[in-house]
Amino acid sequence: MNKKKVCVFASSSNFLEEIYYEEVSELGCLLGKSNFDVVYGGSNLGLMWCCVKAAKLEGAKVYGVMPEKLFNILGSDSTDVCDELHVSENMRTRKAKLDEISDAVVAVPGGFGTLEELSEMIVQKQLGYNAKPIVIFNVNHYYDKLLEFFEQMMKEDFANENCRELYYVAATAQEVVDYLNSYKAVERIIDKEAIYNR
């Protein structure tokens, strides 16, 4: 039986407070111990690298996806950890590949790239293109303001209130893994009523 692959969207910064590296390393460790493989952005930087190194030490396979432009800049320093490294044409095809080969998504703290990736996956699930678990790992309350903004969108009818069902917010690495292990996919019925009604 193939192991499930968890795509981790994460910061590429090496200049964060230590708590972020500690918590994301714990996540990688638990993913590996829980028999998950990891899909990520392919570089040897920041929280993404921290996560996959820890997962690899616990037996996970690691799948990297890096756009050609970044690969030419950063080189292949991550190939000693990656079991497979895919080089995509651009950022859009990178996201498509990450989606294609993963069974679940976890967004740990990150910047604009992480926010874009998370938002796209939420919309895809909202419109029924996937039924994957989407987890927001809210390390150190990093995503509190974003989650408040999500609530504002729903309060002011820019998004339906059932959008809360599209993602799960976890405060600890163990909570992330527990949710992934217990997740049951639910097929979303997408019709005119679902689109136009509140």
Mean pLDDT of the chain: 94
Q: How far apart are the C-alpha atoms of 19 and 112, rounded to whole Å?
A: 20
Length of the chain: 198
pLDDT digits (tens, 9 = 90+) for 104-157: 999 999 999 999 999 999 999 999 999 999 999 999 999 999 999 999 999 999
Burial-class residue 195 by CB neighbours within 10 Å (0-12, 13-18, 19+).
exposed
Smallest Cα–Cα separation from 167: which of 155, 150, 153? 150
Pick one of 3.40.50.450, 3.40.50.300, 3.90.960.10, 3.40.640.10 as the CATH number of 5-183. 3.40.50.450
Smallest Cα–Cα separation from 39: which of 55, 26, 24? 55
Is residue 75 within 8 A of residue 53, CB to CB? The reply is no
Q: What is the reported pTM? A: 0.95
